[in-house]
Amino acid sequence: MSDLSNVSVVLPSLDPDEKLTAVIDGLLEYGFSDIVLVNDGSKPENLHYFEDAARLHPEVHLLTHEVNRGKGAALKTAFSYVLANRPDCLGVVTVDGDNQHHPADTRACTEAMLASNHVILGCRDFTLPDVPSRSRFGNHTTSLVFKIFCGMTISDTQTGLRAIPRKYLPTLNEVYGDRFEYETNMLLAFKNNGIPFDEVKIRTVYIEENKSSHFRVIADSWRIYKLILAHFFRYTASSLVSFVADSGMVYLLSRCLGGILLDPALSAVSTVGARVVSSLLNFFMNKKLVFHAKVSTGASMLRYYALAIPQLLVQWLLNQGIYSLFGIAETQAGLRTLIHILVMTVLFVVSFTIQQRWVFAPQKSK
């Protein structure tokens, strides 16, 4: 069994009850010897749980927010404390205070982190029959959205059990968000910064159908989903800007070169010139603003055009193939336009997926 003396448990809590005491007792029993407990602005009637924990257990260090600032802020407060006061710490493991993480699972995730030097996510099995329907639906939906729009396969996007090597704490401490959206942003930061992560299967425990959770279904769900979908919205905006630039360049080049070149040369030059300008604009917007890619410009540009150029050919082949298959004549302009739009929409989504998973995908840290 691994020595856990150089791993700090980060335990944020708001308005706890006796379950917090059970969590701390379980962690100590399973070999953890440094627990950073954060009181995130709890009510006066709940403060004795924090005071008793710090008084009875020298392994517990209590940090306090005078007012409720959110789970994300509590996690970052603890991360900052560990970085400043635990120079020999190899990493942290975050645990929820509602006793839904078995200490054996906490230890297993921590040992996996120490062995691999990767972030470890403790993931529940939502196919089990005793999982509350709200939790099952929420996690399945969020995992699907993560896979489609972020290119990340995570079986439990809302897990609070996460073992994190020390070297990643400064990066994660800069991640935006103070409430539940912080944990979602943390997952996105893994992708943006090439932080490797693995999953460890843990027990699926729901006490009183998770009634003690402080998760606000509407407000916190909106905070989370707008972060996940942000990439796609920015990608759409980038494409619209590039389309306007392309159209504007065609007009500008046609006006400037109209007295010099004749069709079809004028059409070819204006179209190619506009496409070069708009594609370069699209590339740099996608790299900097959409995917926030920290990758080589040269390598990612080669991949970008390796995708973009064949895509133009595929678009033409699909259009012509559909026209031929269904016998759509040149005179049926409305139907041909509709098919063109449908093909463009499909390729738009496909291109988004390939760009985030290949063109601008960061190299994982070792």
Q: What is the pLDDT of residues 244-286, one digit of tens each?
A: 998 888 888 888 887 787 767 877 788 888 889 999 999 999 9
Q: Tell me which of 247, 269, 291 is where a domain ends.
A: 291
Do 55 and 164 belong to one domain? yes
Parent domain of 282: 230-291
Domain of residue 156, CATH code: 3.90.550.10
Do 322 and 361 belong to one domain? yes
Do 24 and 125 belong to one domain? yes
Give the model's pLDDT for residue 250.
Answer: 82
Q: Would you say residue 111 has pLDDT above 50?
A: yes
Give the model's pLDDT for residue 285.
Answer: 95
Q: Would you say residue 348 has pLDDT above 50?
A: yes
Give the model's pLDDT for residue 223.
Answer: 63
From residue 74, give the alpha-carbon distance in Å to each of 12, 180, 189, 346: 6, 11, 18, 42
Q: Tell me which of 190, 215, 240 is where a domain ends.
A: 215
Q: Is residue 225 part of a domain?
A: no
Which range (15-24, 209-218, 316-325) has the least confidence?
A: 209-218
Q: Tell me which of 268, 291, 314 is where a domain ends.
A: 291
Q: Is residue 1 part of a domain?
A: no
Which range (35-39, 95-99, 323-327) has the least confidence?
A: 323-327
Give the model's pLDDT for residue 221.
Answer: 61
Note every long-range contact of 156-160, with CB atoms under 8 Å and residues 24 or more positions apart, other chains counting: 156/121, 156/122, 156/123, 156/124, 156/126, 156/199, 157/184, 157/187, 158/183, 159/121, 159/122, 159/123, 159/124, 159/202, 160/94, 160/95, 160/96, 160/101
Give the model's pLDDT for residue 212.
Answer: 47
Do 175 and 266 belong to one domain? no
Do 21 and 164 belong to one domain? yes
Q: Is residue 318 part of a domain?
A: yes
- pLDDT band, residue 15 (cuts 50/70/90): very high
Do 182 and 62 belong to one domain? yes
Q: How many separate domains does the chain show?
A: 3
Do 159 and 170 belong to one domain? yes
From residue 57, give the alpha-carbon distance in Å to each of 12, 36, 85, 157: 17, 12, 18, 32
Do 97 and 113 belong to one domain? yes
Report d(CA 137, CA 219) in Å as an integer: 17
Q: Is residue 203 part of a domain?
A: yes
Give the model's pLDDT for residue 224.
Answer: 65
Report d(CA 187, CA 180) in Å as an integer: 12
Give the model's pLDDT for residue 216.
Answer: 52
Do 202 and 336 belong to one domain? no
The whole-model pTM stands at 0.73
Compare 337 and 25 and report the one with higher pLDDT. Answer: 25
Mean pLDDT, residues 219-226 = 63
Q: Is residue 221 part of a domain?
A: no
Q: Is residue 317 part of a domain?
A: yes
Q: Would you say residue 214 has pLDDT above 70?
A: no
Mean pLDDT, residues 131-135 = 69
Give the model's pLDDT for residue 218.
Answer: 58
Do 138 and 270 belong to one domain? no
- pLDDT band, residue 328 (cuts 50/70/90): confident
Q: Answer yes or no: are the C-beta atoms of 161 and 121 closer than 8 Å.
A: yes
Q: What is the pLDDT of residues 139-179, one digit of tens each?
A: 777 788 788 877 888 988 889 999 999 999 999 999 988 88
Q: Is residue 223 part of a domain?
A: no
Q: Is residue 222 part of a domain?
A: no
Do 302 and 181 belong to one domain? no
Do 46 and 175 belong to one domain? yes
Q: What is the pLDDT of residues 42-71, one digit of tens each?
A: 999 999 999 999 999 999 999 999 999 999
Give the model's pLDDT for residue 73.
Answer: 95
**Residue type at position 144:** L
